[in-house]
C-alpha cells in the first residue's frame, strides 16, 4: 500500500523502475526535522519492499538546496537524552539507505549542509549540480554531526581532510567536492536529474542480484563485526546459483546482450 507523505514527493516511473524521492520543504530549504527523517525512512522501506522499484534518486525541491541542514529550532528544544535518541533515529534512517541493495543516488541540487551532507553521504553515489555546496557546520553551533557525519566523511575523503572540514565548518564547492572524492560527478543544474537517471539506468541494465551483492560486500568492509573478504567469497558463490549468472555467461558466449530477470 502506498503511503501519503507530507514532506516528500514519491514519484515512481514504472517503465524504468526508477523512484525519485524529493524532499519537499522549500520554504525551509528542505531542512530536516524529525517528521521528515521519519518519512524518509518510511519511503525507503516502502521502496525496498516494492518489486517495481529498482533504483532510487534522492533530491531536494527547488534550485537552492538539497537539504540546508537540520531544523535548528526543533533541535534547540531537545533535552540531552532526547537529542541522543534523535541522533540514533537519524542514524537508523540513513543506515537503511546505505544498506539498501537497490542503488541510491543523491542528486545534490544546491546546499547539502549538516544533516543534508550526512544524508547525501548515506547514498551510494552523489551527483552534484555546479552550485552545490557541502559542509558540516555543527561546531559553529556548539554541536557535532549526529547522523553519521563523523563516520562517513572520513570513509569518503580520508581522515585528515575530514577532520579539517569537521573542525573548521568550512563549506566545499562542487568542484572541490569532486576533487576530494565526496561526489562522483558535477553537472549543470538543468542536467542534474537527467544525468542521474542515465547513470541509474546504466546500472539497472546489469544483473540485479549481482548489483545488490556488490553493495552488500562494499558495506561489509566497513562493518567491524564482518570479514569483508569472507562476505565477498560467500556472495561470489551465491551469484553462481542465479539465473542471471547463467544468462550473463550464455549471452557472453553467444555474443549478444544479456537479458536479466533478477533471479
- Which grid cell is 199? 547513470
| Nearest alpha carbon to residue 144 among 98, 92, 77, 83 | 83
Active site (annotated) includes residue 74: no
| Nearest alpha carbon to residue 129 among 79, 67, 205, 63 | 63
| Nearest alpha carbon to residue 141 among 211, 54, 78, 196 | 78
Strands (E), 78-218: 104-108, 111-113, 125-129, 133-135, 172-173, 185-187
Q: Distance between CA atoms of 112 and 90, rounded to whole angstroms?
A: 16
Strands (E), the chain: 8-13, 18-23, 55-60, 65-67, 104-108, 111-113, 125-129, 133-135, 172-173, 185-187
Cell numbers 576533487 correspond to what residue? 179
* Of 39, 98, 118, 216, catalytic: 118
Q: CA-CA distances (angstroms) from residue 71 to 4, 32, 136, 142, 203?
A: 22, 5, 14, 15, 34
Q: Distance between CA atoms of 162 and 145, rounded to whole angstroms?
A: 12
Active site (annotated) includes residue 130: no
Q: What are phi and psi of 156, to 5 degrees?
A: -85, -40
* Of 63, 138, 232, 254, catalytic: 138
- Which grid cell is 169? 565548518
- Which grid cell is 47? 521502496
Q: Distance between CA atoms of 99 and 91, rounded to whole angstroms?
A: 12
Active site residues: 118, 138
Amino acid at each position: 500500500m502506498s503511503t501519503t507523505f507530507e514532506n516528500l514527493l514519491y514519484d515512481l516511473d514504472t517503465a524504468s523502475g526508477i523512484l525519485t524521492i524529493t524532499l519537499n520543504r522549500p520554504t525551509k530549504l528542505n531542512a530536516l526535522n524529525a517528521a521528515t527523517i521519519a518519512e524518509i525512512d518510511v519511503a525507503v522501506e516502502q521502496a525496498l519492499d516494492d518489486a517495481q522499484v529498482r533504483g532510487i534518486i534522492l533530491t531536494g525541491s527547488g534550485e537552492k538546496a538539497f537539504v540546508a541542514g537540520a531544523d535548528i529550532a526543533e533541535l534547540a528544544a531537545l533535552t540531552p537524552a532526547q537529542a541522543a535518541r534523535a541522533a540514533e533515529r537519524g542514524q537508523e534512517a540513513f543506515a537503511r539507505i546505505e544498506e539498501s541493495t537497490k542503488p541510491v543516488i543523491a542528486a545534490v541540487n544546491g546546499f547539502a549542509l549538516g544533516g543534508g551532507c550526512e544524508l547525501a553521504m548515506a547514498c551510494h553515489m552523489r551527483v552534484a549540480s555546479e552550485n552545490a555546496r557541502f559542509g558540516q557546520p555543527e561546531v559553529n553551533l556548539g554541536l557535532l554531526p549526529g547522523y553519521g557525519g563523523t563516520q562517513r566523511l572520513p570513509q569518503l575523503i580520508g581522515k585528515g581532510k575530514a577532520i579539517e572540514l569537521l573542525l573548521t565548518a568550512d563549506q566545499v564547492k562542487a568542484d572541490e567536492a569532486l576533487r576530494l572524492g565526496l561526489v562522483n560527478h558535477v553537472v549543470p543544474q538543468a542536467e542534474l536529474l537527467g544525468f542521474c537517471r542515465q547513470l541509474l539506468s546504466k546500472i539497472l541494465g546489469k544483473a540485479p542480484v549481482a548489483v545488490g551483492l556488490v553493495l552488500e560486500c562494499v558495506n561489509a568492509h566497513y562493518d567491524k563485526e564482518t570479514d569483508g573478504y569472507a562476505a565477498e567469497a560467500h556472495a561470489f558463490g551465491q551469484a553462481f546459483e542465479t539465473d542471471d549468472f547463467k544468462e550473463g555467461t550464455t549471452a557472453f558466449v553467444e555474443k549478444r546482450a544479456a537479458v536479466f530477470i533478477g533471479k
